[in-house]
């Protein structure tokens, strides 16, 4: 089933409410005359209509060259019943030597009259066309509109016919899709794939039941023996599963790796012994078991430790699912802000997620065990591998989070995160409002982590770009290493319509300011419309002469590997997502824990802590109307405080961070001391909410 067909089906089978009906990315009440630049051409609306078969159209137009080539080239186009074919000349079209074929009925069509340009967005590709003559331009636009309506009406009629043949029910959306699927040539292949999937799910279900039995067993001698081997031998390198298939890309090779020691041992189950030989076992074992801090050996203790009991008390679900945002017209909010900084644009609270930017900074420490490993690795080049992998892992939680934005912290807002189970304590503060600057600091017995980040957000019509400015620092006191690196650009696509998705691209350059022995560069590869690979990352650790010592590759939302396929070692994999994560803002388990307010911790927090913020708490609880009221009230309080400072020619002074000589914000090391003695109950804090 092609993506374009799915796109058309979504439009006719899942219409938005009438109050927010959109057509091809714009509200239904926006006509072509309302746009001053690009004008979106409307498609077929309502039910079936009588559209006469259009005449064929042929001729030359200019087509923009594919990236990275620049400029335009002349191509012969032939339009017949909604299908636009193009080649070098008319003879090539007749012979079938086509350069491309576009289904106009399944494309979003936009025109710019002044420049005489036509854009056809076919989802996989965007075709940019230009015509020099105004008369010819008007003719092509008219023909394309007619053919587009005819093609859309033809598809809709075909769906109606199939539905009437295969279903006695009324012409509902479900019947349309069912009829279309039954007539698809791909159904046989789809049925086979579903059968395989069903078998694998059954196998996975059996495996889960076996694990539950094992978990309830008072003693597991085989696993205890494995633990002893772990304590004596340490972690062993990962091995590669034998495969005769060719590895044409990094994406294909990633699925071939598994940990040799990631096996489930049972004392008396031959059934488990058979399942352990299954590829499904090795591909899903990380989802099922808690991997040790070495990420290579399973640790399974029959008795819960104190740390395990602490983790068990943490919540695994939010109080309320994320709200429905289909009734919000983003176009009405953003249409006057194309190319502008969106940090100054007020957004409805429904578009937020119940986390703050300060908490998002803490999310980068979800895989802090990579820093712990680096702190216990003697080889400086291997230490750099763990540091680089940690820098990549901080982006993993954003994969399912393109649908919402974090709350903007108000000036003076703070957040603390004390995680004995992970071995670190974290504190953050909003130190500047214009420009918005967030500073944070974390410490453990193995590392010190800090950064100050400033974001520039820009809306470009169909996408929003988030450009971070700032440097991340990690110090490993045991070796005297001080690592520094930058962040890459994030881009959220399909802001106005379709399925939103996030992309990271750019280069991270990591250096050790206390040693020139090694450095690392990691590249987040930008997706290309002719390549299906997404989210790929490549990097290299080099010595002082530039010689490559270690190669890194993987995907920022899946895992990272060191070496070259097929004999590479897995350094890190993303933790499994919690159940029903789609309904809860796409949060990871760690993200769900960040805004949790423990009754024992609440009296110890300063009144400026994010977890005490009313609008964010109300949104988390599903009270949208009250959250919006509180959000506006908190923003107004911030404006009033800023006005008082300006009237008195005063500057805001952060409480827990100070500016260093290089104009970055660093901790003044007072937060945790004040928290202990005398505490924040009598601390002079501004009223933020």
50-101 pLDDT, tens digit each:
788 899 999 999 998 876 677 899 999 999 988 999 999 998 888 888 888 9
Average pLDDT, the chain: 77
Instruction: Give Cβ neighbours of residue 329 (< 8 Å, ≥ 6 apart).
Output: 20, 27
Write down the pLDDT at residue 395: 95
pLDDT tens by residue, 602-630? 989 999 999 999 999 999 999 999 999 99
pLDDT tens by residue, 459-475? 776 777 888 999 999 99
Tokens of 518: 């090694």
- Is 583 within a domain? yes
Residue ranges making up the domain that contains 440: 339-638
Write down the pLDDT at residue 595: 95
Write down the pLDDT at residue 342: 59
Q: What percent of the chain has pLDDT over 90?
A: 43
Among 151-155, 199-203, 311-315, 437-441, top mean pLDDT goes to: 437-441
How far apart are the C-alpha atoms of 407 and 70, rounded to whole Å? Answer: 40
- Is 499 within a domain? yes
How far apart are the C-alpha atoms of 664 and 471, rounded to whole Å? Answer: 9
Reported as type and span, the H/E element at residue 342 is none
How far apart are the C-alpha atoms of 173 and 688, rounded to whole Å? Answer: 49
**CB 363, CB 419: distance < 8 Å:** no
Peptide bond into 2 cis (omega under 30): no
pLDDT tens by residue, 121-139? 876 678 899 998 999 999 9
How far apart are the C-alpha atoms of 470 and 438, rounded to whole Å? Answer: 10
Q: What is the CATH number of the domain that holds 467?
A: 2.40.160.120
- Inform me whether the pLDDT recorded for 387 exceeds 70: yes
- Is 474 within a domain? yes
- Is 514 within a domain? yes
Phi, psi of 162, deg, nearest 5: -65, -40
Summarize the confidence of residues 528-551 as an average pLDDT. Answer: 87
Write down the pLDDT at residue 186: 58
Weakest mean pLDDT among 205-219, 423-437, 636-650:
205-219
How far apart are the C-alpha atoms of 55 and 283, rounded to whole Å? Answer: 55
Weakest mean pLDDT among 174-188, 382-396, 525-539:
174-188
Write down the pLDDT at residue 34: 39
- Is 674 within a domain? no
Pick the residue with more confidence: 186 or 348?
A: 348
- Is 372 within a domain? yes
Write down the pLDDT at residue 339: 59
Quick one: pLDDT band at residue 631, thresholds 50, 70, 90? very high
Write down the pLDDT at residue 316: 86
**CB 264, CB 210: distance < 8 Å:** yes
Neighbours of 66 (CB within 10 A): 12
The domain boundary, picked from 141, 158, 175, lies at 158
- Inform me whether the pLDDT recorded for 164 exceeds 60: yes
- Is 1 within a domain? no
Long-range own/partner contacts, residues 63-71 (CB < 8 A, 24 or more apart): 63/127, 63/128, 63/129, 63/130, 64/127, 64/128, 64/129, 64/130, 66/530, 67/528
Tokens of 405: 């934005």
Weakest mean pLDDT among 335-349, 425-439, 635-649, 674-688:
335-349
Radius of gyration of the chain (CA): 29
- Inform me whether the pLDDT recorded for 490 exceeds 80: yes
Q: Quote the DSSP letter at residue 298.
A: B
Measured CA to CA in angstroms, residue 569 lies from 254, 256, 563 at distances of: 10, 11, 6
- Is 47 within a domain? yes
Quick one: pLDDT band at residue 264, thresholds 50, 70, 90? very low
- When divided into structural domains, the chain yields a total of 2
Q: What is the CATH number of the domain that holds 45?
A: 2.30.29.30
Instruction: Of 370, 351, 290, give the one whose Cα is nearest residue 576.
Output: 290
Weakest mean pLDDT among 236-240, 538-542, 651-655:
236-240
Which residue has 């010595």 as its token pair?
Answer: 543
Peptide bond into 566 cis (omega under 30): yes
The domain boundary, picked from 638, 657, 672, lies at 638
Weakest mean pLDDT among 162-176, 292-306, 565-579:
292-306
Quick one: pLDDT band at residue 155, thresholds 50, 70, 90? confident
How far apart are the C-alpha atoms of 340 and 102, rounded to whole Å? Answer: 33
How far apart are the C-alpha atoms of 622 and 440, rounded to whole Å? Answer: 29
Weakest mean pLDDT among 22-26, 214-218, 591-595:
22-26
Q: What percent of the chain has pLDDT over 70?
A: 70
Enter the pTM of the model. Answer: 0.58
The domain boundary, picked from 158, 188, 203, lies at 158
How far apart are the C-alpha atoms of 408 and 402, rounded to whole Å? Answer: 16
- Inform me whether the pLDDT recorded for 276 exceeds 60: no
- Inform me whether the pLDDT recorded for 293 exceeds 70: no
pLDDT tens by residue, 194-222? 777 777 777 777 677 666 555 444 333 33
Write down the pLDDT at residue 343: 61
- Inform me whether the pLDDT recorded for 103 exceeds 80: yes
CB burial string 269-278: b at 16+ within 10 A, e below: eeebeebbee
Write down the pLDDT at residue 242: 35
């Amino acid at each position: 089933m092609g993506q374009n067909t799915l796109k058309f089906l979504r439009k006719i089978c899942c219409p938005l409410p009438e109050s927010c009906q959109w057509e091809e990315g714009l509200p239904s009440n926006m006509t072509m005359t309302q746009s001053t630049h690009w004008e979106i051409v409307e498609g077929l609306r309502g039910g079936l209509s009588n559209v006469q078969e259009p005449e064929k159209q042929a001729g030359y137009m200019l087509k923009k060259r594919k990236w990275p080539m620049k400029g335009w080239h002349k191509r012969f186009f032939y339009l017949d019943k909604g299908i636009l074919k193009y080649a070098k000349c008319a003879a090539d079209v007749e012979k079938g030597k086509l350069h491309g074929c576009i289904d106009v009925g399944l494309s979003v069509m936009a025109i710019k009259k002044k420049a005489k340009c036509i854009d056809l967005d076919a989802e996989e590709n965007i075709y940019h066309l230009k015509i020099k003559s105004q008369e010819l331009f008007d003719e092509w636009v008219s023909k394309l509109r007619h053919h587009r309506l005819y093609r859309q009406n033809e598809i809709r009629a075909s769906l109606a016919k199939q539905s009437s043949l295969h279903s006695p029910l009324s012409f509902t959306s479900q019947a349309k899709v069912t009829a279309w699927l039954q007539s698809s040539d791909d159904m046989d292949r789809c049925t086979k794939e579903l059968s395989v999937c069903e078998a694998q799910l059954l196998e996975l279900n059996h495996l889960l039941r076996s694990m539950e039995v094992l978990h309830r067993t008072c003693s597991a001698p085989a696993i205890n023996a494995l633990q002893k081997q772990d304590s004596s031998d340490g972690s062993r390198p990962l091995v590669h599963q034998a495969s005769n298939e060719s590895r044409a890309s990094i994406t294909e090779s990633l699925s071939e790796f598994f940990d040799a020691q990631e096996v489930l041992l049972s004392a008396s189950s031959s059934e488990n012994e058979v399942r352990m030989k299954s590829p499904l076992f090795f591909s899903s074992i990380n989802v099922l078991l808690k991997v040790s801090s070495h990420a290579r050996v399973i640790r399974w203790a029959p008795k819960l430790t104190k740390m395990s009991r602490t983790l068990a008390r943490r919540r695994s679900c939010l109080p309320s699912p994320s709200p429905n945002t289909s009734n919000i017209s983003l176009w009405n909010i953003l249409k006057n802000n194309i190319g502008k900084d969106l940090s100054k644009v007020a957004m409805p609270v429904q578009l937020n997620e119940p986390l703050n930017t300060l908490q998002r900074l803490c999310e980068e420490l979800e895989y802090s065990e990579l820093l712990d490993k680096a702190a216990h690795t003697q080889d400086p080049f291997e230490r750099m591998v763990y540091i680089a992998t940690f820098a990549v892992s901080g982006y993993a939680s954003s994969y399912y989070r393109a649908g919402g934005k974090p709350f903007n912290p108000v000036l003076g807002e703070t957040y603390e995160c004390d995680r004995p189970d992970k071995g670190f304590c974290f504190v953050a503060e909003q130190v500047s409002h214009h420009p918005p600057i967030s500073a944070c600091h974390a410490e453990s017995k193995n590392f010190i982590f800090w950064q100050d980040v400033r974001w520039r957000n820009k809306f470009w019509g169909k996408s929003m770009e988030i450009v971070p400015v700032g440097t991340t620092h990690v110090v490993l006191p045991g070796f005297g290493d001080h690592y520094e690196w930058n962040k890459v650009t994030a881009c959220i696509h399909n802001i106005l319509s379709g399925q939103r998705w996030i992309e990271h691209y750019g280069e991270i350059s990591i250096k050790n300011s206390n040693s020139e022995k090694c450095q690392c560069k990691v590249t987040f590869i930008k997706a290309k419309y002719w390549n299906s690979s997404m989210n790929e990352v490549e990097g290299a650790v080099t010595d002082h002469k530039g010689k490559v010592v270690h190669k890194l590759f993987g995907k920022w939302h899946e895992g990272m590997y060191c070496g070259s396929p097929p004999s590479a070692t897995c350094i890190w994999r993303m933790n499994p997502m919690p159940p029903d994560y789609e309904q809860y803002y796409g949060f990871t388990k760690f993200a769900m824990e960040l805004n949790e307010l423990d009754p024992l911790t609440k009296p110890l927090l300063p009144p400026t802590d994010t977890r005490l913020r009313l609008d964010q708490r109300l949104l988390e609880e599903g009270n949208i109307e009250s959250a919006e009221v509180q959000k506006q009230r908190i923003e107004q309080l911030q404006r009033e405080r800023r006005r008082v400072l300006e009237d008195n020619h005063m500057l805001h002074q952060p409480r827990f961070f100070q500016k260093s000589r290089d104009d970055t914000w660093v901790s003044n090391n007072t937060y945790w001391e004040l928290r202990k003695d005398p505490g924040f109950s009598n601390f002079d804090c501004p009223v933020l909410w």
